[in-house]
Amino acid sequence: MLLTLDIGNTNITMGVFEGDDLILVTRTKTDRNKTPDQYSIEFKNIFGLYGIECEITGAAISSVVPELTRIVCQSIKTLSGIEPIVLAPGIKTGMNILTDDPAQVGADLVAGGVGAADLYPLPCLIIDLGTATKICLIDENGAFRGCTISPGIGISLEALSSRTSQLPAISLTTPSHSIGTNTIDSMESGIVFGTAAMLDGLCAKIEEEYGKPAATTVATGGLSKDIIKSCRRKIIHNGELIHHGLKIIYDKNSKQ
């Protein structure tokens, strides 16, 4: 059983593979204060919840939370005796990263790029709606060309409610109209339709600068499935993209 983990600033997303089949994707809240043993217990409980035997034969991790990487690695080693492969400089990915400093590219973006290059026609735009909103360009040769980074939906909502006196904290749903007639509908319209319009605009801007249209646009991340419904662009949703990429990277490195 292969375990793939994407450690983000808000959530840790976990995938479980049996052979080539991804049999489980679930997530738990990122907690920088937990010990390795606490994470071991949590992961084991999640396996038990879904009736999965905890027989880990390999693990691959992408992380944008460096202070948690070692802790989660230790928790996996406690559970299984396995030393996880951590996506970092020196790990074989098969992807050429054509940025000013490839080491600065987030591990989650690399894993998503590897997954997209394997699954979809290129060039490809990858929209990742996580703590930050990212749009990455994978060119026709499967190389990572760069990305845009902007505040994520959760950050924007938090800023609205915390930095204004009269705007409440809200849960996010897609409103029926763009012209809100009450405070909550107006906030939802601004966030949902505003994010969708930003994605459409940035994707078009990237294509214009690159000089050719993307053959595929794919979206991943916690809120992506709902947001892309409001986009004008045809966008494929794939919530498992990073895990697919991590499995490819694991296979490349474990064979060596």
β-sheet bridge partners, residue 151: 132
Active site residues: 108
Strand order in the sheet with 85-86: 21-29, 11-18, 2-7, 58-63, 85-86
- In terms of DSSP bridges, do strands 21-29 and 11-18 run parallel, antiparallel, or are they unpaired? antiparallel
Contacts of 247 (CB under 8 A, 6+ apart): 2, 4, 15, 17, 20, 22, 60
Give Cα separations from 247 to 127, 160, 161, 225 (angstroms).
20, 38, 39, 23
SS3 217: strand
The Cα 116–Cα 23 span in angstroms is 19
Contacts of 108 (CB under 8 A, 6+ apart): 6, 8, 62, 64, 128, 130, 242
β-sheet bridge partners, residue 16: 3, 24
Dihedral over alpha carbons 8, 135, 147, 195 (to 10 degrees): -90
